[in-house]
Amino acid sequence: MLTDLAHGDLAKAEHVFLTTNGRVSGHHQCTQTVELWFAAQGDTVYLLSATGDRPEWVRNLARDPEVELRIDRYTRSGRARILDGPEANRARRLMAAKYARNAPPGWGMTCLAVAVDLRTPGLR
Residue spans of the domains in the chain: they are 3-118
Say what the pTM is: 0.86
Q: Give the pLDDT confidence score for residue 32 in this predicted structure.
A: 93
Mean pLDDT estimate for the chain: 86
The fold adopted by the segment(s) 3-118 is Pnp Oxidase; Chain A (2.30.110)
Spatial distance between the Cα atoms of 25 and 27, rounded to a whole number of angstroms = 6
Contact by Cβ (8 Å): 117, 123: no
* Residue count (the chain): 124
For 83, residues 6+ apart whose C-beta sits below 8 A from its C-beta are: 91, 113, 114, 115
For residue 101, count other CB atoms closer than 10 A to its CB: 5
Contact by Cβ (8 Å): 75, 59: no
More confident residue, 122 or 47: 47
